[in-house]
Amino acid sequence: MASAETDIDTETPGQSRPVKLVVIGALLGAVGFNLWLLFPEGLGGGLAPNDSLFHRQLIGAAVDAIKNGSDFTDPWQGTMSLGFPVFHHYQHLSHIPLAFIHVITLEAVSVIDLIRWTTYILLCLFPLSIFWSLRRFGFDPLTSAMGGLLAPLIGNDFQLWGGFGYDNYTFGGFGLYAQLSGMVLFPAALAVGYETVRTGQRFFWSTLLLSATLMTHLTFGYIAFLTLGVLALIPKSQITFDKSY
Domain layout of the chain by residue ranges: 1-245
Residue 190 contacts residue 227 (beta carbons within 8 Å): yes
Please tell me the predicted confidence (pLDDT) of residue 168. 84
pTM of the model: 0.85
SS3 192: helix
Please tell me the predicted confidence (pLDDT) of residue 200. 86
Please tell me the predicted confidence (pLDDT) of residue 9. 47
What's the rounded Cα separation, in Å, for the pair 209 and 190?
8
Phi, psi (5° rounding) for residue 105? -85, 10
Please tell me the predicted confidence (pLDDT) of residue 166. 83
Please tell me the predicted confidence (pLDDT) of residue 152. 78
Please tell me the predicted confidence (pLDDT) of residue 11. 46
Please tell me the predicted confidence (pLDDT) of residue 186. 95
Local mean pLDDT, 10-residue blocks, the chain (245 residues): 42 67 94 92 75 92 94 89 88 95 93 92 94 92 93 65 76 88 95 91 94 94 93 75 54
Please tell me the predicted confidence (pLDDT) of residue 8. 40
Please tell me the predicted confidence (pLDDT) of residue 23. 94
What's the rounded Cα separation, in Å, for the pair 88 and 146?
40
Please tell me the predicted confidence (pLDDT) of residue 243. 52
Q: Is 236 exposed, middle or buried (0-12, 13-18, 19+ CB in 10 A)?
A: exposed
